[in-house]
Amino acid sequence: MRTKDMDLNGKEPVRLRRKKLRNGDYSLYLDVYWNGKRSYEFLKLYLSGEWGKAAIEKNKPIIEIAQQIKHKRILSLRMVKYGPSNILPRPSFLEFFTELADQRAKYKNNSENWAGALKHLTTFIGNKNPRLDEIDDAWLTEFKYYLLEEHKEKGKRSLMANTAHSYFNKVRSALTNAFDRNLIEKNPAALVSAIRVKESKREFLTITEVRKLAEAPCEELYLKEAFLFSVLTGLRWSDIFHLTWNEIHENENGAYIHLEQKKTNKYLVLPITNEALQLLGERKEPVERIFNFLRYSSQTSVCLSRWMLKAGITKKITFHAGRHTHATLLLSKGVDISTVSKLLGHRHLKSTERYAHITDNLKIEAINKLSLIPTEEG
């Protein structure tokens, strides 16, 4: 759904267009049609005319800047015609949020969380449907309470704190987006604190347990191979699920993966061991999914649990524990945290630091085994 940046005739007053240059690149400009007159404004912003993922990644921030300039131009036209206190028409907040959620779905950028936030936002708003400029800190605080308490009071399953945190941040992000584009004069998100995240227990396996798993039988061989591949590479479920053969490369230095991470849309070049490469089996068609039998279902979780028990492991292990295991094993082997962060594809070092306290505990356990006082164990 699009926001209604329209003039009185129902047409967009400002359109973002591009002109091809002699060198193959593109110059961005605004095509402005207002009050029956047309004008053009060149932005001195240029897009790469090359093909491929690298060019797309390079062009994204330039397009975002151009879009912001476009929206500011629309706002300035409205202010001249309607005055600063009566800039109409304006979209509802739900329309605006839906537009952003649709964009995330189109580019597969954290779309599931945006879709979940939209679902709860729609329920919370009901038939009130406030305009974007009617959202204030009081409204935002009410929505925060709804996610944490009211949703539970209505007899529905309560949201996990981390889920509520994620949904609330999406709404705050949308308001910040509107503020940055000059669609609202004040940003309510700056006045209301985020929902606190509860640190969840991150289960992981020791190297001994991983070796037991490698030896233990699993009902579904593809699941065993995919999980062990996650342990050896640190890839998320979403990236392993979508992994294709054209993302697996080999050269004189060995094998590596070059992919766009589904969660972050950031490109990752990841060297892998021969052991990990062997788990992939025989190379097939470039666009074919490698783990094509892998499915996300309750049955998959049951199968994973049974496999753990066969290996003598009683920990509650999910597929994501493979990634946790990869990180903790690297840190316990003395790999510096900055390198681990890069291997995991984290945007910020802070994300990797969450694993550090686990390895600290392992070090404490190890050092406590040192004693000058004789024990039964010797």
Model's pTM, two decimal places?
0.54
Whether the CB-CB separation of 287 and 244 falls below 8 Å is answered with yes
Give the 3-state secondary structure of residue 238. helix
Residue at token pair 């047409």: 11
Tens of pLDDT, residue by residue over 167-183, are: 999 999 999 988 877 77
Place 139 in a pLDDT band, splitting at 50, 70 and 90: very high
131 C-beta neighbours (distance < 10 Å), count = 16
Residue 374 has pLDDT above 70, yes or no: no
Beta bridge partners of 165: none
Determine phi and psi for 244, rounding to 5 degrees: -120, 165
Determine phi and psi for 307, rounding to 5 degrees: -65, -40
Tens of pLDDT, residue by residue over 320-347, are: 899 999 998 888 888 888 888 888 888 7
* DSSP result, 139-173: HHHHHHHIIIIIHHHTTSPPPPHHHHHHHHHHHHH
Beta bridge partners of 42: 29
Residue 2 has pLDDT above 60, yes or no: no
Q: In what order do the strands lie in the sheet with 14-20?
A: 14-20, 26-34, 37-47
Residue 243 has pLDDT above 90, yes or no: yes
Give the 3-state secondary structure of residue 351. helix
